[in-house]
């Protein structure tokens, strides 16, 4: 599939390789030692970051996980939320922060690869801000097709609502978040009430949604594997988040990198415009120096100073989870374009 406005790559969207080698990790570590974020201009550091994250997504995640602190949170690993399908989730609970907001993070990988184990750095980053982070696994193609992976993630949200209180989280302060195809999942659960209703829930459980580099408007679907994943063809319109916008959605924070050549920022523009046209609640942030991978990688503690993605996530979660669920939340004043540094 070539998303609207995208450039065809030698690899499908959402996948840039699969090797997880120790050589790459050692290379990253040697490079990082030479950098002092306070002494090097941000633009140069972004170029350096791009160079050593340009190997494989898997190896870059390994590096980010290795450099993420192991302290400041309690990790509850492999908690079963769907016994029938063997699905588990990890929970990162900040210390000494009872009744905390909860962020459920769906990882990306073209709906065909990925694992919660690769996203410790995301869980740590959220816990460091005082949020309980939940990262579920979900079934992947070709073992399942649309909408089964969405049903898996809806079950994860239902489990969180029912049990997160035992892990320091507040079930009435849940925000959904995703990257790449995971942002699609978060958007669909936020925009279409049916998925949570099918697991005995309600969209009112969701106080907000955060999408990083998500595909929300990608017809026509042409890649054979994605046609098989989302088919039959007559159902393709039902797979697009933009077609579920009615203006009543929970607040959404949509962020994208202008240099994303895998999923173009036009997807975020399209969803944001539709929500605003329907008088719904959404903020949009476009980062001119970030691409598909880096918009997530800069959540890692060593890289947060190079773009304020984590700061905007922090502010959004606190805003939408403050107090009781509002009948109509007020839009924020987040700017819709971040100027180059």
Q: What is the mean pLDDT of residues 123-150?
A: 98
Residue 51 backbone dihedrals phi, psi, to 5 degrees: -65, -40
- Residue 27, pLDDT > 90, answer no
- Domains of the chain are 22-321 (3.40.50.1820)
- Residue 130, pLDDT > 80, answer yes
- Per the DSSP assignment, residues forming a β-bridge with 286 are 256
Residue 27 backbone dihedrals phi, psi, to 5 degrees: -65, -45
| Contact in structure between 228 and 209 (CB atoms under 8 Å) | no
- Greatest Cα pair distance in the chain: 56
Supply the Cα-derived Rg of the chain in whole angstroms.
19
Residue 210 backbone dihedrals phi, psi, to 5 degrees: -120, 120
pLDDT of residue 58: 65
pLDDT of residue 339: 39
Q: In what order do the strands lie in the sheet with 132-136?
A: 73-82, 87-94, 132-136, 100-106, 169-179, 206-212, 252-257, 282-287
pLDDT of residue 277: 98
| Contact in structure between 180 and 213 (CB atoms under 8 Å) | yes
Nearest to 255 by CA among 220, 299, 219, 221: 299
Q: What is the mean pLDDT of residues 12-37?
A: 35
pLDDT bracket for residue 155 (50, 70, 90):
very high
pLDDT bracket for residue 6 (50, 70, 90):
very low
Q: What is the residue-averaged pLDDT of the chain?
A: 85
Q: How does pLDDT run across 91-106, given as a tens digit for each residue?
A: 999 999 999 999 999 9
Nearest to 207 by CA among 253, 149, 269, 150: 253
Q: How does pLDDT run across 33-89, given as a tens digit for each residue?
A: 344 545 556 565 555 555 544 545 666 888 999 999 999 999 999 999 999 999 999
177-181, 284-288, 331-335: range with lowest mean pLDDT: 331-335
Measured from the Cβ of residue 211, the count of other Cβ atoms closer than 10 Å reads 32
């Amino acid at each position: 599939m070539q998303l609207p406005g995208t450039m065809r790559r030698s690899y499908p969207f959402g996948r840039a390789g699969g090797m997880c080698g120790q050589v790459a990790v050692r290379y990253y570590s040697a490079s990082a030692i030479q950098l002092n974020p306070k002494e090097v201009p941000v633009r140069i550091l972004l170029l350096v970051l791009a160079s050593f994250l340009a190997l494989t997504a898997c190896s870059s995640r390994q590096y980010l996980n290795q450099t993420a602190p192991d302290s400041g949170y309690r990790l509850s690993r492999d908690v079963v939320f769907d016994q029938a399908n063997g699905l588990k989730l990890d929970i990162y609970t900040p210390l000494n922060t009872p009744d905390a907001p909860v962020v459920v993070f769906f990882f990306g990988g073209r709906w065909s690869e990925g694992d919660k184990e690769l996203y410790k750095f995301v869980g740590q980053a959220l816990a460091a801000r005082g949020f309980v982070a939940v990262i579920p696994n979900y079934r992947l193609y070709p073992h399942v097709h649309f909408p089964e992976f969405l049903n898996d993630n809806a079950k994860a949200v239902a489990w969180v609502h029912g049990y997160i209180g035992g892990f320091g989280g507040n079930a009435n302060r849940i925000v959904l978040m995703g990257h790449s195809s995971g942002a699609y999942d978060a958007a669909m659960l936020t925009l279409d009430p049916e998925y949570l209703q099918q697991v005995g829930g309600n969209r009112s459980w969701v106080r907000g949604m955060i999408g990083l580099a998500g595909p929300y408007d990608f017809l026509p679907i042409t890649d054979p594997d994605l046609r098989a994943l989302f088919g039959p063809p007559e159902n393709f319109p039902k797979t697009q988040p933009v077609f579920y916008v009615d203006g009543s959605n929970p607040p959404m924070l949509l962020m994208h990198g202008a240099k994303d050549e895998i999923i173009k920022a036009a997807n975020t523009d399209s969803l944001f415009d539709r929500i605003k046209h329907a008088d719904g609640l959404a903020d949009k942030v476009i980062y001119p120096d970030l691409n598909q991978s880096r918009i997530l990688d800069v959540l890692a503690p060593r890289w947060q100073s190079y773009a304020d993605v984590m700061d905007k996530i922090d502010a959004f979660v606190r805003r939408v989870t403050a107090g009781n669920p509002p009948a109509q939340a007020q839009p924020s004043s987040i700017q819709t374009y971040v100027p180059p540094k």
